[in-house]
Amino acid sequence: MRKRYAVLSLLVLSVLPVIMGCASANYNRDLLMGIVWQQESGEYPALCYQAFNSGKEFVRTLSTAGKTAAVLDIDETVLDNSKYAAWMVRSGKPWSAAAWEQWCNDASAPAIPGALDFANFLTAAGIEVYYVSNRPASTTGSTINNLQALGFPKADRDHVMLQEDTSDKAPRLGKIRSQGYEIVLLAGDSLEDFESFTRSWPNAERRTWVDSQVEKFGVYWLVLPNSVYGTFEAAIKSGYRGLSLKEQAQARLDAIEAWEP
């Protein structure tokens, strides 16, 4: 009898991980290579330095007499959130507003390579630095703390503009302009950091639009690399955000063009 129980227990124990594995597939594993690249490669910081060096070259050519401002996005432009994404991979937990807010409030994000030097360069050049981000406005205090701890200039409530009612950054840029500033440069990792009307476009349209704006990149618009997340993800398929995590993973797989040997 005891032997029969032992065999039964062994059977259950060997099947259980398979059942549990199916029930809790970790779709966040798709983020892994992007995170490894951001945290481990030398190419990632090299690209960041390249963007900011390009911005410096452009600023040196400017001869504006009036009040000038530069608008820097925060996430993956001046602050590195790869540890949050890495937590998602390790825990298998899906992105959530609550966990994201907790991460923001932790105020422990490191600086993006070259970002602090660039913000100081802008300030020294007499350009007012604004940080315009779609982090929730409730994290303003901790985001300022995070930026201040890293030494970022102008990290205060007048210059850190987070998301209140809309993710559209255009009204916030309008607010800066209404104070008499000419925005001479924008830096971001997402197309809507430059033109918010691209937010809801599918990727094919986004790429066509980018091809029509070639002369602005690395000049008026500094693009920072981010292969872990972005608007490009939902833009692969209409209704993507409403899909289950499993369906989203399938949509990503379906989106890629593959060679057929």
- Residues near Mg ion (CB under 5 A) are 73, 75-76, 189
Q: How far is the CB of 223 from Mg ion (least distance, A)?
A: 11
Least Cβ distance, residue 13 to Mg ion (angstroms)? 45
User: Cβ closer to Mg ion: 128 or 189?
Assistant: 189
Nearer to Mg ion, 28 or 133 (CB): 133
First-to-last CA distance in the chain?
57
CB closer to Mg ion, 89 vs 223: 223
Shortest reach from residue 45's CB to Mg ion, in Å: 17
Tell me whether residue 17 or residue 109 sits nearer to Mg ion (CB atom).
109
Q: In terms of C-beta distances under 8 Å and separation of at least 24 residues, what long-range contacts does 97-106 make, across chains too?
A: 97/136, 101/136, 101/138, 101/139, 104/135, 104/136, 104/139, 104/142, 104/143, 104/146, 105/139, 105/142, 106/142
- The amino acid sitting at 54 is S
Tell me the closest approach of the beta carbon of residue 234 to Mg ion, in angstroms: 15
Q: For residues 75 and 128, which CB has a smaller minimum distance to Mg ion in the complex?
A: 75
Question: What is the rounded distance in angstroms from the CA atom of residue 145 to the CA atom of residue 64?
Answer: 32
Question: Please, what is the minimum distance in Å from the beta carbon of residue 229 to Mg ion?
Answer: 9
Using CA of residue 258, residue 92, residue 74, residue 56, what is the dihedral sign? Answer: negative
Structure tokens at 16: 């259980």
